[in-house]
Structure 1
Amino acid sequence: MEKQNLDKVLSGERLSIDEEMVPGTIHLIDLEGVLNVKKDSGSQSNIILQPQPSSNPNDPLRWPKSKKIAQFSLLWFWAFMQAVTVNWSGPIYTLWTEEFNCTFMQLNISAAICFIFLGIGSVFLQPTAMKFGRRFVYLASTFFAMISNIIGAQGNTVEVLYVVNFLSGFAAAPGDTLVEISTTDVFYQHERASYLSWFVMALYAGSDLGPVACGYIVETMSWRWCYYFQVIILGAIFIAQLFYMEDTTFERRETEELEDTIMQQIKSRETILSAVQSGQLSQERVNSDDKLNTIVSVNNSINTDDDSIDHSIPMRTYWQRMRLVESEFNDSRSWLTIFYRPFFLFTIPAVMWGGLVYGSQMMWLSLLGTTQSEIFSVAPYNFTTPQVGLTNISALVGSLIGMVYGGPFVDWVTIKLSERNNGIMEPEFRLWTMIVPTILNAAGLLAYGLGVAYEAHWFISAGLGQALLGFSMASSGTICLTYSVDSYPKLASEGLVLMLLLRNLIGCGFTFAIQPWLDKSGLKLTTWLMFMLSIVINGSFVIMIKWGKDFRRATKDRYYKYSDPMFGELFKK
């Protein structure tokens, strides 16, 4: 076999790769610096770029870092404002029950409608973005968010809030799914958690700061101005998107799988070195043969890949980059095919687990949003509307720390564990970091619920409890999203849609259930039940660490079948 492999290497034939390829298991680090693939050009120059940038100079992966950050910042602020739009109203629930002559349960139904259409919107808008471009969907979503706020500012009944939350939820849906895809469009795998954590942070920062601003606006002006200010800010964002935001849509047409290419190079090098040691091949011949010498020697020129750019392909003009509908790099499949493909993934454990864990974070976010006015505006706290809003500051502080933990720290841990694993990354490496969020989530629920039930100092609930919940929501959301995308990279878009649909269905169900649950069980028992629920759901990461790779191996055939772009296509050309 070794002689056959040597003959193939010398003749330039491809070797047969008998090593099992498991979805998500990749070579992330070139420990010896010998692989002829594109790598990070910065301080971490041994990290293999996943995915590899194409030769097209218009490839978003080739954007300068400054441009990536600038476009990313605009998208982050858009996602932040969309989170504000759907989560700002918690502090004025008591005011609305009086002005609209409605109950807290009716207001919770309004919030649940928002969750429903966040999920429905992700299912409908994601294929629209793949077919017509990300830019088109972002602009349309901003426009409908403005319309929803204009309607809300004129509302006089709780039924108007139902309409507003239907429109707001649908418009904000791309903030839950499409921004993650836009992130993977321009950033590499070893950067993914760091930048995804920023978008998860946008969700929680908007959810935390929106109520704070709401409290002060209501005190100095009126609750209607909460809507007007959002219209003004969203209008400015719309103009910036219209003239500055570029589309990151890009269809990659690799002729060869990167992991297979890496395995070919590793096995070819091992074959030559083994032949030299056994005397089948002389070191002099290796040194004199450029091809053999390239295979076994350290390649110091691969950190920069300017030579791989096809300069015959023209750079797009400004107006080509600013067109409303993407027609060059858009998905060639039918809209219907893209629409229903996520539902094939109900049998993929990593996706279902990610949706469950991320959905549980929406339960705690809904808990804070729907109960804070009811809890803190009455005895023994008797907070004013601005003070109720200020309780969200501690959740924001926790979210900021959780963003750093769930992003840069998780990326760092993953790289270090990959180095110890001969440069091979397993997606499960990320899951070891779930230990801390699992513990702090449970502790935060106890502090928030029992602190109020026992009439402890407000800091126990509003300060410590919300900070711990903010940390766990921001960090665990990033971890489970990144784990799922890493496990099945070719199904990233479909997986995110399904996870976010599951997340919002869970959040919707919890929002409907929380008030009857509190009324029937009381705050103490409800808190202990939620504590146990969080331990079970978040603690399930242990199952994925233990059997996650087995699940990926068992679903390998389904993964390759579903990742075929034309799988399920009904209207073939």
Structure 2
Amino acid sequence: MEFGTVEGVKMVPGTLHIVDLEGTMNVKHQQVGKSDIVLVPQPSNDPNDPLNWSKFRKEYHFWLLWIWGFIAAVSVNWVGPVWTQFTVDLKTTYFQLSIASALCFLFLGLGCVFLQPIAMKIGRRPVYLAGSVLNLVGCVLGSVQTTVQMLWGTNILTGFGAAPVDSLVQITTTDIFFAHEKGTRLSLYIFTIYAGSYLGPVAAGHIADSQSWRWCYNYLIIFFSTLLVIQFFTMEESTFRRPPTSSEISGDTAMMSRNAEKQLEDPKINAAVSSGESGHTSEASLPPAPKTYWQRMGLYNTTRSDPRPLWLVAANPFMLITYPAVIWAGFIYGVQMMWLSLLNVTQSELFSAPPYNFSVSNVGNINFSSFIGGALGMIWGGYVSDWCILFLSRRNRGILEPEFRLWTMLVPAVINTYGLGVLDGVMWLLPAGFGMVFIAFGIGSSGAIAIMRWTAIRASPRKV
């Protein structure tokens, strides 16, 4: 493998020339006023390229995924406040319920392993639809369950169906947004995962108190049924295999030639896109026609999918463990998921018992603290992180180095270390208030920064 070069110097993967300080780079820039921000990756001239979608199409696609991710996160994390009721109605124990929770997270992970390669081969859209179906079936089973074994089955289905929340949506986000936009978007999305995990228990506590816990599943059935219809008729496919230009292969967008600029701007030249060749055109051809509505709503898409065999696509993520940055990002994200699961599975047992003696609805209400912390973490890991990399890139001759985002990791690294204190029986405001705010801030900001660090390495152009 050869690393890319910027101004003749070999650079590590993830290094990009993202700011055109002198305004001399022959590349496409952000089209907002007179911007010095370079579009990375450079969009093709294909109207079906997600990077060329209108602002409305991009926003609709993103926010539809945001809502879907929120509901999916609710479906796997809402049960914390009702565990005490589960022990009575399902005639089980907290240990058996812990197994149910473990099965849910296990199949969340297995779903990432199995569904991600399928999404790369046949498109993102069918995997999202399948996720909605699995969650719908799981919630139907949950609404009629009478034993803990049925709860295990429910958690297996909803966990597997919600797996794209933790892996595929992040890839879809990078399909439609540029490098300088990813921090804000990924942070918004990480926030929705945790917002669903925090607000779901709040709603569940009140629903269980007023209508019974079975109605928590019934509401999810209504939501997923509605979402499935909306997804079927409006969710587009974002898979697009974009052949890189010669400058992107070398890692040097600053040295893009005049011919490359002509290829990007002239609608009559698309040979590089259609042939898969990089850096030169073999023949001029008109760009493809925009897809019709029904073509965009197809159940699968293989024309722009990964051309490698499925087994190789499935094995590729495991090969990435040779990258220290990937190991680090996985570890950080895994730790945050550990904190999230800890809050979910212990809140009912700890806060329903002395000295707190909270009701089911009040156990759910403590998750408002986590929501506040998650919102603050979203701002830090997204808006502040994006501002930071542009600020540091301008000081670095316009060159973005992937390590720049790590400066914003310092604050959550400190704040995330403050624990709950609930085991010491301290005043409830400390563990259920400040403690959960601190943990949620670290979860929201650290998770987003870790994922962005990984995607910077993943998306970096390299010559193999």
Same fold (TM over 0.5): yes
Report the alpha carbon displacement of residue 109 of structure 1 after superposing the two structures with TM. Answer: 1.0
Match of 1:347 in 2: 322
Please point out which of 85, 93, 98 is paired with 1:108: 98
Evaluate the alpha carbon distance shift between residue 44 and residue 398 of structure 1 in structure 2; reply closer, same or farther with a 3 A threshold.
farther
Match of 1:474 in 2: 444
Match of 1:330 in 2: 305
Which residue identity lines up with residue 120 of structure 2 in the other structure? M
In 1, the alpha carbon distance for the partners of 2:356 and 2:250 equals 63
Deviations 1:436-488 (A, max 9, x none): 10111112x1xx1x2x2333221111111111111110000000110111123
Evaluate the alpha carbon distance shift between residue 48 and residue 377 of structure 1 in structure 2; reply closer, same or farther with a 3 A threshold.
same
Deviations 1:129-162 (A, max 9, x none): 1111100100011011000000111111111111
Counterparts of 1:71-470 in structure 2 under 5 Å? 71-258=61-248, 260=250, 262=252, 265=255, 305=265, 312-443=287-418, 445=419, 448=420, 450=421, 452-470=422-440
Deviations 1:26-53 (A, max 9, x none): 1111100000011111157111111000
Deviations 1:295-337 (A, max 9, x none): 9xxx9x99x9585886542110000000101132122222111
Task: Give ranges in structure 2 of 5+ residues lacking alignment.
Answer: 271-285
Identity %: 44
2:12 is aligned with 1:22? yes
Could you tell me whether the CA contact under 8 Å between 1:26 and 1:259 is conserved in 2? no
Please point out which of 41, 57, 61 is paired with 1:51: 41
RMSD over equivalenced CA pairs, Å = 2.4
In 2, the alpha carbon distance for the partners of 1:103 and 1:261 equals 57
Deviations 1:498-553 (A, max 9, x none): xxxxxxxxxxxxxxxxxxxxxxxxxxxxxxxxxxxxxxxxxxxxxxxxxxxxxxxx
Which residue identity lines up with residue 137 of structure 1 in the other structure? V
In 1, the alpha carbon distance for the partners of 2:49 and 2:293 equals 15
Q: Secondary structure at the match of 2:42?
A: coil
Deviations 1:201-225 (A, max 9, x none): 1110010011111111111111111
Q: Secondary structure at the match of 1:488?
A: helix
Q: Secondary structure at the match of 1:54?
A: coil
Q: Secondary structure at the match of 1:146?
A: helix
In 1, the alpha carbon distance for the partners of 2:81 and 2:403 equals 40
Which residue identity lines up with residue 419 of structure 1 in the other structure? R
Evaluate the alpha carbon distance shift between residue 261 and residue 472 of structure 1 in structure 2; reply closer, same or farther with a 3 A threshold.
closer
In 2, the alpha carbon distance for the partners of 1:308 and 1:417 equals 38
Could you tell me whether the CA contact under 8 Å between 2:126 and 2:300 is conserved in 1? yes
Q: Secondary structure at the match of 1:442?
A: coil
Could you tell me whether the CA contact under 8 Å between 2:17 and 2:254 is conserved in 1? no
Could you tell me whether the CA contact under 8 Å between 1:35 and 1:262 is conserved in 2? no
Higher helix share: 1
In 1, the alpha carbon distance for the partners of 2:361 and 2:416 equals 26
In 2, the alpha carbon distance for the partners of 1:44 and 1:201 equals 31
Deviations 1:184-216 (A, max 9, x none): 000000111100011111110010011111111
The number of aligned residues is 445
Could you tell me whether the CA contact under 8 Å between 1:56 and 1:309 is conserved in 2? no
Q: Secondary structure at the match of 2:357?
A: coil
TM-score, normalization: structure 2? 0.91
Evaluate the alpha carbon distance shift between residue 81 and residue 263 of structure 1 in structure 2; reply closer, same or farther with a 3 A threshold.
closer
Could you tell me whether the CA contact under 8 Å between 2:7 and 2:252 is conserved in 1? no
Please point out which of 427, 438, 455 is paired with 1:485: 455
Evaluate the alpha carbon distance shift between residue 352 and residue 312 of structure 1 in structure 2; reply closer, same or farther with a 3 A threshold.
closer
Evaluate the alpha carbon distance shift between residue 44 and residue 406 of structure 1 in structure 2; reply closer, same or farther with a 3 A threshold.
farther
Evaluate the alpha carbon distance shift between residue 34 and residue 233 of structure 1 in structure 2; reply closer, same or farther with a 3 A threshold.
same
Could you tell me whether the CA contact under 8 Å between 1:215 and 1:388 is conserved in 2? yes
In 1, the alpha carbon distance for the partners of 2:288 and 2:320 equals 37
Report the alpha carbon displacement of residue 262 of structure 1 after superposing the two structures with TM. Answer: 4.0
Greater Cα radius of gyration, structure 1 or 2: 1
In 1, the alpha carbon distance for the partners of 2:407 and 2:435 equals 24
Q: Does 98-107 or 307-316 show the bigger shift?
A: 307-316
In 2, the alpha carbon distance for the partners of 1:92 and 1:240 equals 30
Match of 1:547 in 2: none
Could you tell me whether the CA contact under 8 Å between 1:217 and 1:225 is conserved in 2? yes
Task: Give ranges in structure 1 of 5+ residues lacking alignment.
Answer: 1-14, 269-290, 492-558, 562-573
Which residue identity lines up with residue 85 of structure 2 in the other structure? L
Report the alpha carbon displacement of residue 265 of structure 1 after superposing the two structures with TM. Answer: 3.0
